[in-house]
Each structure stands twice: as structure tokens, then as C-alpha cells.
Amino acid sequence: MKLSRIGLMALLTLVLALAGCQREPQPAWRLTDVGGHLPDLDFRLTNDEGKPVTGADYRGKVVLMYFGYTHCPDVCPLTLTQLHVVLQRLGPLADDTRILFVTVDPKRDTPEIMHAYVNAFDKHAVGLVGSDSDTEALAKRYRSAFTREPDRGNGAYDVSHSSAIYIFDRDGKARLLATPSAAQDDIVHDLHLLIGLGAKS
């Protein structure tokens, strides 16, 4: 039996409608979309209160993870200041986020030092410390890199490190990648979208 032109058009419309129902609309991200390209948030470290924590402890929050160190002369304080302003602009929604500042200098950055450092920037920031091997493994997991420069004497040395900001949704899935030079408006925009997704992945 041949379908009439009207019947064929109706069938095509129905097929397209069903296909549209099966696809979830993609958020209009302004930052770099890394969904499906980086692993979920997963680690075993010590927080700035001296307690062991894992990535699972931050489920339910939108997480912004950054690798740095407290003796960093420029990019780390600038980045944390930038993120503080971003969270201020979120208002009460900032309570649905956490900044995880992972030290790449565990030799000098004790939990106590990290606690004082991150809290000077934002109450939603948490300092994380691990052994050299734990830190190297976590950095490798997210394709981050760091190199400790030669000691200048008296224990003074610099650490060169990547400056990416990794953003995870409430389910711990990697969603976005930002840089310290990203526009605050773009970060705020995308965090609004992620927070609005609730516990969806």
C-alpha cells in the first residue's frame, strides 16, 4: 500500500518529533566543553583541616579544581581572587559550589598553611594536600603539569605549573575547562547553567 504525500509527511513529522524527544538540549556553554574527554572527579587527599577526603565527598556540589601552591607569586592568588569574585556574583548559589585548591608543593604546603591561605580568599575554598606520588598521579589524571625549579637556598624555590581550572558537575563529571584569563561573565554564566542542572549528568 502506498502512502499518500500527506501521510508520508505526517509520518516524517512524527519520526522527527520522537527523535527530538530523545535528545536532551545541550547547554550553551561559553567555556571549553570537556564532557566525555576528562575523567570524573576522583582522588584521595587530605583537606586543610587534616581530614582524609575523596572526590565522592564533594558530590552534590559544582566543583572548580585548580592546581597551585601557596608560595606562588602571581597566577595562583590572581586566580583565586578571580574565582572569589565569580562566587560573589553567584550570590546564595555559591553555596552549591566548592573551589578545590590542590597544592603541587606538598613539601611546604601543610594542611594548616593551606587552610589559612584558601580561607583568605573565599569561604567556599578547600585546600587539598597529598604525597608527591598522589599529587603527580592526580595531575597526570587531568593532563596537568608542574615542575619544581632548583632550590635557590634556604628552602626557597618556585614551581612552574599549568593554570587550567577544571569544572565538574554535581555528579563529579568533568564538564568545563577555564583559564585564569577567562571572562568572569563567561564563568558566571556557565556556573549558573551547571548549578541549574541539579544532579543531572
Compute the distance between CA of residue 99 and CA of residue 181 in angstroms, rounded to an integer: 17
The number of CA neighbours under 13 Å toward the Cβ of 71 is: 15
SS3 147: strand
Crossing angle of helices 184-196 and 75-90, rounded to 10°: 50
What residues contact residue 180 under an 8 Å CB cut-off, 6+ apart?
75, 78, 79, 82, 163, 165
Could you read off the pLDDT tens digit of each residue along the chain, which spans 201 residues? Answer: 444 444 445 444 544 444 444 555 678 999 999 999 999 999 999 999 999 999 999 999 999 999 999 999 999 999 999 999 999 999 999 999 999 999 999 999 999 999 999 999 999 999 999 999 999 999 999 999 999 888 887 778 889 999 999 999 999 999 999 999 999 999 999 999 999 986 444
pTM: 0.84
Contact assessment for residue 111 and residue 101, using Cβ atoms and an 8 Å cutoff: no
- Beta carbons within 10 angstroms of residue 54's beta carbon: 12
For the chain, domains (ranges, CATH) are: 29-196 (3.40.30.10)
The residue with cell 500527506 is: 6
Is the torsion defined by CA of 69, 124, 122, 40 positive or negative? Answer: positive
Beta bridge partners of 135: none
Pull the grid cell for residue 62: 559544582
Residue 84 Cα distances to 63, 135, 157, 178, 194, angstroms: 13, 24, 27, 15, 17
Compute the distance between CA of residue 160 and CA of residue 162 in angstroms, rounded to an integer: 7
SS3 103: strand
